[in-house]
Amino acid sequence: MGVFSKGNNMISETNITVISQNTELKGDIVTEGIIQIEGKIDGKVVSKDSVIIGTDGIVNGEIYSEEAVINGTLLGKVEATKVKIGERGKVNGTIISEVFAISEGGDFEGDKKMRIKKAESSYSDVSSELS
């Protein structure tokens, strides 16, 4: 998270969480901001904003977010308004979304289900289950 000091006031530039390369996390993450995954996560990732899996990133579990950008590997399920698989992205599992795009070279094996109307309570429901 970028934070700037202006007198006694702290100003947050944006709310970004990064799981860096060579980092493994077992468990669930819940955030209202963006999460970028360059390491490995075994568990649920819940974000009110975006989840970005970098080219070396691996998620073995579930993602619930507004947007999911997969340039690495997802083994499991993603439920988001928008799901994008990049040219080096790999998904093996289930995708539930309103918008779905896959770049040439991207790999997807599994089930795709259309979400007709955005479920406003999706983030709240999942995040409260994990609390």
Question: Rounded to an integer, what distance in angstroms lies between the CA atom of residue 32 and that of residue 50?
Answer: 9
Q: How far is CA 41 from the centre of its chain?
A: 11
Per-residue pLDDT of the chain (131 residues; tens, 9 = 90+): 344 334 444 444 568 999 999 999 999 999 999 999 999 999 999 999 999 999 999 999 999 999 999 999 999 999 999 999 999 999 999 999 999 999 999 999 999 999 876 555 455 566 666 65
CA distances from 25 to 79, 104, 130 (A): 20, 30, 16
127: its two tokens? 């995040």
Question: Rounded to an integer, what distance in angstroms lies between the CA atom of residue 42 and that of residue 39?
Answer: 10
114: its two tokens? 């259309």
CB within 8 Å of 56: residues ≥ 6 apart: 21, 38, 39, 72
Backbone angles phi, psi at 126, to 5 degrees: -70, -45
Backbone angles phi, psi at 130, to 5 degrees: -85, -15
Contact by Cβ (8 Å): 96, 74: no
* CB atoms inside a 10 Å sphere around CB 125: 12
CB within 8 Å of 112: residues ≥ 6 apart: 94, 95, 100
| pTM score of the predicted model | 0.80
Sequence ranges of the domains in the chain: 12-109
